[in-house]
Amino acid sequence: MTGFRQKLAIASQATQSLLCVGLDPDPNLMAVPDIVDFNRAIVDATKDLVCAYKPNMAFYEAQGSAGIIALEATVAYIRDQAPDVIVLGDGKRGDIGSSNTQYAKAMFDTWGFDAATFNGYAGVEALGPFIDYEDKGIIIWCRSSNEGALELQDQALGSSGKRLFEHVAESAVRWDRNTNIGLVVGATYPKDLARVRQIAPEMPILLPGVGAQQGQLRESILAGIDPAGRNLIVSSSRGITYASKEPATFERAARAAADDLRQLVNTILDEAGKPWRPIST
């Protein structure tokens, strides 16, 4: 059985990319009206440039049953066209008891995601149904990219002064009995990202906030990569998928935006002495 970290390493090496494209279909922004047609075009334009795609569940659920059908079709298309690319379901699921058992079944058995985002607020016992999927990635929300994150995630715990997000990262390391846990840390807080990487030196980190949220890319890449320069999933959604809203140009614009970001990240890796190995032929 191939574990999530190995799948991610294979996907990243195959395209020499840390880039993840978020598939967040917004009818008010899409260049074409049909979600499946739009997503297929984005996948066709970028599949050789990315290590992962990240459908955000909210955008599909907002469209009701039609959105769920579109999500199914999107995942199936990625599997057919880019079978080695990671498909990451971004729903930040989390509850307790039997609810989590069903959430895990939905994300991993029904939808077939390689990884999914989760809320760890209820603790390790509640996360058990997710962690027990040994070959799936359990990406725990740790330090979000929004400005309001400071309100709770920066709060000090007791006399130690340890902040809540640091405690979440430390807990995730303890919970990682199947080597399948990762963390979500926003690119808008690179110093906090560096602290999380210090706590969890080998864990995959999903890095949102790149692009539309104007994260500090260079500092965040250097802070977030593991010692080998990998295990970072650099996520951009609107900056790529909505690079153009014109039906005649949106595919080319998406590819150009994805390629620009991939090359920028790879330049940072090169400068840090962490270049990609040549792809054997």
**What six digits make up the tokens of 186?**
């926003």
Query: Domain 4-270 adopts which CATH fold?
Result: TIM Barrel (3.20.20)
The pLDDT, as a whole number, for residue 77 is 98
Q: Is 103's pLDDT higher than 70?
A: yes
pTM > 0.85: yes
Q: Is 69's pLDDT higher than 90?
A: yes
**What six digits make up the tokens of 258?**
């994805």
Q: Is 1's pLDDT higher than 90?
A: no
Residue spans of the domains in the chain: they are 4-270
Instruction: Report, as an integer, the average pLDDT of 135-139.
Output: 97
CA dist., res. 109 & res. 89, Å (int): 12
**Dihedral sign, Cα of residue 209, residue 212, residue 213, residue 218:** positive
Hey, is 262 helix, strand or coil? helix
The pLDDT, as a whole number, for residue 281 is 53
> Nearest CA to 212 among 192, 252, 240?
240
| pLDDT tens readout for residues 245-273 | 999 999 999 999 999 999 999 999 999 99
Q: Is 245 a catalytic residue?
A: no
Instruction: Report, as an integer, the average pLDDT of 10-34.
Output: 97
CA dist., res. 53 & res. 172, Å (int): 23
Instruction: Report, as an integer, the average pLDDT of 172-197.
Output: 95
| From 7, 92, 105, 245, active-site residue | 92
Instruction: Report, as an integer, the average pLDDT of 21-37.
Output: 97
Q: Is 211's pLDDT higher than 90?
A: no
CA dist., res. 201 & res. 1, Å (int): 24
